[in-house]
C-alpha cells in the first residue's frame, strides 16, 4: 500500500491544472466506495457528471486551439508581405500588386518607398509603424501565439488524461458492481 501511495503521488500531487481538477486514481474500488461513503450508483453518477464537465472544458479548449491555429498562419502572411515591402524599398523598386477592393473586384496598386505600414491592433485602433517596427511587433505576436498554443496543447493533454482516468474508473466501478451482484446471486438461489 505504501509503495502504491508513493508511485501515485507522482501525479496526484498535481490536483489541478488551470482550474481543471485532476481525476484521482482509484487503487481499489471497494475501499474507494467505503472511504467516499458512496454507493455504486451515486459513485457512477458522480463520475458521469465529472466526465460531462471535462467534455465542456474540452470543447472550450479545442475552440481556443482552433483560433490560435488559424491566427499563426495569418501572422506569417503579414510578416511575409511586410518583408516583401521592405525588400522592394531597399532595392528602390515599386511593388505592383492587384488587390481586392470589394468581393471579386480587383484593382491595381503601385506602392513606392513603403516607409511604413499600418497595423490593425483591434478595438477599432490602427497604428502606423515603420517596417522594422511592424516586423518586430508581428514577430513578438507570432512567438506569443506559438507559446500559448504549446500551453494549450499541454492543457488538452492533461484534460484528456483525466478523461481517460475517469472512464477507466467508471468501467471498474461498474464491473466491480456486476461482480458483486454475481457473487450475491450465486449465494441466494440456495436459500430459495
CB proximity list for 48: less than 8 A, separation 6 or greater: 170
Q: Are the C-beta atoms of residues 36 and 43 closer than 8 Å to each other?
A: yes
Element containing residue 123 per DSSP (H, E): none
Closest CB to another protein among residues 38, 88: 88
CB of 29 to another protein, least distance (A): 9
Nearer to another protein, 5 or 136 (CB): 5
Which residues sit at the interface with another protein, rule CB under 8 A?
4, 7-8, 10-11, 25, 27, 77-78, 80-81, 84, 95-100, 106, 109, 157, 160-161, 164-165, 167-168, 171-172, 174-175, 178-179, 182
Residue closer to another protein, measured from CB, 127 or 183? 183
Q: Minimum distance between the CB of residue 123 and another protein, rounded to whole angstroms?
A: 21
The per-residue DSSP string of 50-110 comes to HHHHHHHHHHHHHHHHHHHHHHHHHHHHHHHHHHHHHHHHHTT-PEEEEEEEETTEEEEEE
Q: State in angstroms the smallest separation of the CB of 87 from another protein.
A: 10
When the beta carbons of 38 and 97 are compared against another protein, the nearer one is: 97
Lookup: cell for 171:
468501467
On whether the CB atoms of residues 165 and 25 are closer than 8 A, the answer is yes
Q: How far is the CB of 169 from another protein (least distance, A)?
A: 9
Amino acid at each position: 500500500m505504501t509503495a502504491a501511495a508513493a508511485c501515485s503521488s507522482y501525479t496526484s500531487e498535481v490536483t489541478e491544472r488551470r482550474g481543471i481538477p485532476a481525476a484521482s486514481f482509484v487503487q481499489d474500488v471497494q475501499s474507494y466506495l467505503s472511504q467516499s461513503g458512496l454507493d455504486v450508483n451515486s459513485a457512477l453518477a458522480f463520475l458521469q457528471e465529472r466526465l460531462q464537465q471535462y467534455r465542456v472544458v474540452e470543447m472550450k479548449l479545442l475552440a481556443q486551439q482552433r483560433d490560435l491555429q488559424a491566427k499563426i498562419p495569418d501572422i506569417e502572411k503579414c510578416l511575409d508581405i511586410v518583408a516583401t515591402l521592405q525588400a522592394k524599398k531597399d532595392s528602390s523598386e515599386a511593388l505592383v500588386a492587384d488587390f481586392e477592393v470589394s468581393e471579386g473586384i480587383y484593382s491595381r496598386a503601385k506602392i513606392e518607398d513603403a516607409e511604413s505600414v499600418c497595423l490593425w491592433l483591434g478595438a477599432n485602433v490602427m497604428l502606423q509603424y515603420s517596417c522594422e517596427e511592424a516586423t518586430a511587433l508581428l514577430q513578438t505576436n507570432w512567438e506569443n501565439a506559438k507559446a500559448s498554443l504549446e500551453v494549450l496543447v499541454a492543457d488538452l493533454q492533461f484534460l484528456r488524461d483525466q478523461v481517460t482516468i475517469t472512464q477507466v474508473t467508471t468501467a471498474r466501478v461498474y464491473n466491480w458492481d456486476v461482480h458483486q451482484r454475481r457473487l450475491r446471486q450465486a449465494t441466494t438461489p440456495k436459500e430459495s
